[in-house]
Amino acid sequence: MAVVHIEKLCKTYQLGPVQLPALREVDLEIEQGQYIAIMGPSGSGKSTLLNLLGCLDRPTSGRYWLGGKDVSTLDDNHLSLIRGKRIGFIFQSYNLIGQLNVIENIELPMSYQGFSEERSIERAGKLATMVGLGDRFKHRPRELSGGQQQRVAIARALANDPVIILADEPTGNLDSESGAEILSILDDLHQRGKTLIIVTHDEHIGTRAERTIHLLDGRIERVEYNHRR
């Protein structure tokens, strides 16, 4: 089943009198449980595509179906609902709330979806343990290493059991050892059947995915199919 299906997706930004095409008639289909990497030089359209896939923006033209639902023309309120229920985000800079501890950061998306406090705390504890933070429940972000903060971010992305997980340079701020640990967690999520879409500049990360989409000047330049370990 295709969880992501896009047809002739375009995004053009208006800068004064100038129109700047950022994405040009992109077609893409991603099946449930696939691990996809998106690569390309700066200005190739990676961030624009990620924003569209994450329902953070709407296309200028073209269609996008997420989990079988056409989200191309939804208004901001409906896009916000889709993001909360169907998409998990992992950012390079973690985007944790400094005043909240590990459990509170992880359960935050569940509170927006109306989970009971008891249920959200229980699930947050299970997710924290799954990513190796079983002994860090009460720690705040400043008390954690970069790798540990990214583990919290991964657990938070899983909170509402999303249809897709989008990761934007998830190891970009980490040393090589911490980065390798995060990639192992992502590999494990893939083995558990999660659909992963990762934007990266790192060729090594790209080879871990099943398929690497290379963008250039807003178009898909080529697609590589990788041999998973």
Sheet bearing 69-70, strands edge to edge? 18-31, 2-15, 61-66, 69-70
Give this prediction's pTM: 0.93
Q: According to the model, what pLDDT value does residue 205 have?
A: 83
pLDDT of the residue at 175? 92
- Compute CA distances 164 → 79, 87, 131, 161, 221, whole Å: 15, 5, 18, 9, 23
pLDDT in tens, 105-139: 999 999 888 889 899 999 999 999 999 999 999 99
pLDDT at 228: 57
Measured CA to CA, the distance from residue 226 to residue 171 in angstroms comes to 20
Q: Is 219 exposed, middle or buried (0-12, 13-18, 19+ CB in 10 A)?
A: middle
Q: Residue ranges of the alpha helices (H) in 87-202? A: 102-112, 117-130, 146-157, 176-191
How many angstroms separate the CA atoms of 49 and 36, rounded? Answer: 13
